[in-house]
């Protein structure tokens, strides 16, 4: 009995043991090649490794990986091992004259390469010292794309095990090519996406640059018109009839709505241009909160809504753009009141954390559909249950831009987790000095 010193199996003959060891060596080589494929994106490196490993494992003179040209009229040496440059560059290989059966999808054995009529360059085989050839097809997506060959220096009849081994190596080569092709496709698509994204960002900047100029030029004449309407409605230019007053009041309301839209567009333009950072200064948070609370109380009283506050007695100083932060807080309170029915409630809670201030505005109103929560901060977004509501649809988008310009976060919950009703908007503003904010912005 003959025992394998690797796995411990016993065999009756030395030939059986040798075949077993050869099979284990083949499996080990294929496993190592498979690992290289998974760790490398370069098909050429993997193919070079395959032909070298195959030649050593099969104990042959050389090995070559040949691919068909795009027009399928020529075989091209893609990776070789153990063959001289003279032999590799001997001339163009014709698929029809060089072991054509392999390109049909069948393994082909040549016992005497110097005399077999299926070999294209017979004299070159003799000079190179090649006796026998085994060629197996390389198949990718059910199509033969080339052949893999091994060359011996002495005549050899290849066994089924050897043929299966070379076929396995050829399949791994095809897999490496497929992976490289896929990676190339993904890289190209990603590059194109980056180009398209850059183009879109440029166009977006141009749009906001235009909006900034256009809205600035529109605001002055509209403000003048609003002033004149105020003069007329105030009776400073003489008495007006009630019907005329009604018309002028409707005009005034429309002008106010247009001015609000222009202000929102200007705010978005400034956010996009990064101008909010230039407005930041050390401000006491109490002043911002008090102004927002005054507005909130007035709106809540008019609508018959209960408004509650949970605010620390001592609020810190913040490095922020005070008017912008006040806009965010006031807008969230106004929204909560607007979308809450009379008799409902709105709450403002402020948490003075160690590193950030957290603001929470919750209500018992109509809420936001769950499948639309991810869109609430998009420009001009309107929730499906808020159809017909007035406003520009830009407020939450502006709020998000302001909060993020301060290095904070903003998000929404609907329904509110504590009450199961309405919704809650939460945003944070980090406690940073001017120097720390600039460092974070530059980074």
Looking at the chain, the whole-number percentage of residues with pLDDT higher than 70 is: 81
Lowest-confidence range among 257-266, 325-334, 359-368? 257-266
Query: Does residue 24 lie in a domain region?
Result: no
Query: Does residue 26 lie in a domain region?
Result: no
Query: Does residue 158 lie in a domain region?
Result: yes
Q: Is the pLDDT of residue 236 over 90?
A: no
Query: Does residue 37 lie in a domain region?
Result: no
CA distance 138 to 103: 8
Could you tell me if 213 and 255 lie in one domain? yes
Q: 117, 146, 180: which is the final residue of a domain?
A: 180
CA distance 435 to 200: 33
CA distance 308 to 349: 8
Could you tell me if 235 and 342 lie in one domain? no
Q: 218 versus 412: which is more confidently predicted? A: 412
Residue 93 is classified by DSSP as: B
Could you tell me if 145 and 224 lie in one domain? no
What digits encode the pLDDT tens for the residues 308-321? 989 998 888 888 88
Question: Angle 222-226-228 (CA atoms, 0-180°, nearest 5)?
Answer: 115
- pLDDT for 112 equals 93
Q: 253, 275, 297: which is the final residue of a domain?
A: 275
CA distance 427 to 369: 20
Could you tell me if 241 and 318 lie in one domain? no
- Give the DSSP H/E element, type plus range, for residue 81: strand 75-81
Q: Is the pLDDT of residue 438 over 60?
A: no
Contacts of residue 281, defined as CB under 8 A and 6 or more positions apart, other chains included, come to 319, 320, 321, 322
Mean pLDDT of 259-277: 69
- pLDDT for 272 equals 65
Q: Is the pLDDT of residue 432 over 60?
A: yes
Q: Is the pLDDT of residue 69 over 70?
A: yes
Q: What is the CATH number for 242?
A: 1.10.287
Q: Is the pLDDT of residue 271 over 80?
A: no
Q: 33 versus 308: which is more confidently predicted? A: 308
pLDDT band at 443 (very low <50, low <70, confident <90, very high): very low
Could you tell me if 271 and 314 lie in one domain? no
Contacts of residue 261, defined as CB under 8 A and 6 or more positions apart, other chains included, come to 392, 394
Token pair of 352 as six digits: 């003075």
- pLDDT for 442 equals 42
Contacts of residue 231, defined as CB under 8 A and 6 or more positions apart, other chains included, come to 237
Q: What are phi and psi of 262, to 5 degrees?
A: -65, -40
Mean pLDDT of 102-120: 89
- pLDDT for 142 equals 86
Q: Is the pLDDT of residue 31 over 90?
A: no
Mean pLDDT of 126-130: 92
Residue linked to tokens 């893999």:
148
Q: Decide: helix, strand or coil at residue 132.
A: strand
pLDDT band at 212 (very low <50, low <70, confident <90, very high): low
Could you tell me if 203 and 336 lie in one domain? no
- pLDDT for 434 equals 60
Q: What is the CATH number for 285?
A: 3.30.565.10
Contacts of residue 183, defined as CB under 8 A and 6 or more positions apart, other chains included, come to 41
- Give the DSSP H/E element, type plus range, for residue 269: helix 242-272
Residue linked to tokens 């032909």:
51
Query: Does residue 9 lie in a domain region?
Result: no
What digits encode the pLDDT tens for the residues 337-373? 988 999 999 999 999 988 899 999 999 988 888 888 8
Lowest-confidence range among 9-18, 57-66, 119-128? 9-18
Could you tell me if 294 and 412 lie in one domain? yes
Q: 223, 245, 275: which is the final residue of a domain?
A: 275
Please say whether the beta carbons of 185 and 169 come within 8 A: no
Q: What are phi and psi of 364, to 5 degrees?
A: -110, 30
Query: Does residue 57 lie in a domain region?
Result: yes
CA distance 45 to 60: 21
- pLDDT for 258 equals 75
Mean pLDDT of 210-237: 75
* Long-range contact pairs involving 98-105 (C-beta distance under 8 Å, separation at least 24): 99/133, 99/135, 99/147, 99/149, 102/135, 102/136, 102/137, 102/147, 103/68, 103/137, 103/144, 103/147, 104/137, 104/144, 105/137, 105/139, 105/144
CA distance 413 to 407: 21
Token pair of 241 as six digits: 């009839």
Mean pLDDT of 116-137: 91
Q: What is the CATH number for 69?
A: 3.30.450.40
Could you tell me if 283 and 341 lie in one domain? yes
CA distance 229 to 165: 92
Contacts of residue 218, defined as CB under 8 A and 6 or more positions apart, other chains included, come to 258, 262
Could you tell me if 371 and 420 lie in one domain? yes
Could you tell me if 229 and 327 lie in one domain? no
Q: 269 versus 282: which is more confidently predicted? A: 282
Query: Does residue 10 lie in a domain region?
Result: no
Distance of CA 156 to the CA centre of its chain: 54
Token pair of 279 as six digits: 């407005």
Sheet containing strand 132-140, strands side by side:
75-81, 62-68, 143-152, 132-140, 108-110
Could you tell me if 160 and 206 lie in one domain? no
Report the domain count for the chain: 3
- pTM listed for this prediction: 0.49
What digits encode the pLDDT tens for the residues 375-424? 888 877 777 776 555 666 788 888 898 899 889 999 999 888 888 888 99
Distance of CA 108 to the CA centre of its chain: 47
Where does 253-386 show beta strands of DSSP type E?
281-284, 306-310, 317-320, 345-352, 356-363
What digits encode the pLDDT tens for the residues 294-312? 888 888 898 899 999 899 9
Mean pLDDT (the chain, rounded): 82
Please say whether the beta carbons of 402 and 428 come within 8 A: no
Distance of CA 150 to the CA centre of its chain: 44
Q: Decide: helix, strand or coil at residue 353.
A: coil
pLDDT band at 155 (very low <50, low <70, confident <90, very high): very high
Looking at the chain, the whole-number percentage of residues with pLDDT higher than 90 is: 21
Domain extent at residue 111: 42-180
Query: Does residue 7 lie in a domain region?
Result: no
Query: Among positive and negative, which fits the CA dihedral 74, 101, 131, 146?
Result: positive
Q: Which parts of 84-159 fold into alpha helices (H)? A: 85-88, 122-128
Could you tell me if 292 and 331 lie in one domain? yes
- pLDDT for 234 equals 82
Longest alpha-carbon distance in the chain: 125
């Amino acid at each position: 009995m003959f025992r394998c010193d690797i796995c411990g199996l016993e065999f009756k003959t030395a030939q059986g043991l040798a075949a077993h060891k050869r099979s284990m060596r083949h499996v080990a080589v294929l496993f190592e090649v498979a690992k290289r494929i998974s760790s490398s994106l370069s098909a050429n490196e993997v193919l070079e490794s395959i032909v070298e490993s195959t030649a050593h494992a099969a104990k042959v003179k050389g090995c070559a990986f040949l691919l068909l040209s795009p027009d399928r009229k020529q075989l091209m040496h893609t990776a070789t091992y153990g063959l001289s440059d003279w032999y590799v560059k001997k001339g163009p290989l014709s698929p029809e004259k060089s072991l054509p059966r392999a390109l049909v999808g069948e393994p082909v054995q040549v016992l005497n390469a110097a005399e077999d009529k299926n070999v294209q360059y017979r004299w070159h085989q003799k000079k190179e010292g090649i006796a026998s050839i085994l060629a197996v097809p390389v198949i990718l997506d059910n199509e033969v794309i080339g052949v893999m060959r091994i060359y011996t220096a002495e005549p050899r009849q290849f066994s089924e095990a050897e043929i299966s081994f070379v076929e396995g190596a050829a399949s791994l080569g095809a897999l490496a090519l497929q992976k490289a092709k896929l990676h190339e496709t993904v890289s190209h698509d990603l590059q194109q996406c980056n180009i398209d994204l850059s183009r879109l960002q440029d166009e977006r900047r141009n749009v906001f640059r235009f909006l900034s100029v256009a809205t600035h030029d529109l605001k002055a004449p509209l403000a003048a018109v609003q002033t004149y309407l105020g003069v007329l409605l105030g009776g400073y230019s003489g008495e007006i009839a009630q019907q005329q007053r009604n018309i002028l009041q409707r005009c005034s309301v429309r002008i106010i709505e247009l001015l609000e839209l222009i202000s929102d567009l200007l705010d978005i333009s400034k956010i996009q241009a990064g101008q909010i950072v230039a407005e930041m200064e050390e401000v006491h948070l109490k002043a911002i909160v008090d102004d927002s609370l005054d507005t909130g109380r007035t709106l809540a009283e008019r609508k018959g809504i209960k408004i509650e506050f949970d605010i620390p007695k001592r609020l810190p100083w913040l490095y922020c753009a005070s008017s912008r932060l006040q806009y965010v807080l006031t807008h969230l309170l106004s929204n909560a009141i607007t979308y809450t029915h009379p008799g409902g409630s709105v709450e403002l809670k402020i948490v003075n954390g160690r590193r950030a201030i957290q603001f929470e505005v919750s209500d018992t109103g109509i809420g936001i559909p769950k499948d639309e929560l991810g869109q609430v901060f998009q420009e001009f977004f309107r929730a499906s249950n808020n159809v017909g509501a007035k406003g520009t649809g830009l407020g939450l988008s502006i709020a998000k831009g302001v909060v993020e310009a301060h290095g904070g976060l903003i998000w929404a919950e609907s329904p509110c987790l504590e009450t199961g009703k309405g919704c809650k908007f939460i945003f944070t503003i980090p406690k940073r000095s001017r120097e720390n904010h600039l460092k974070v912005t530059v980074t």
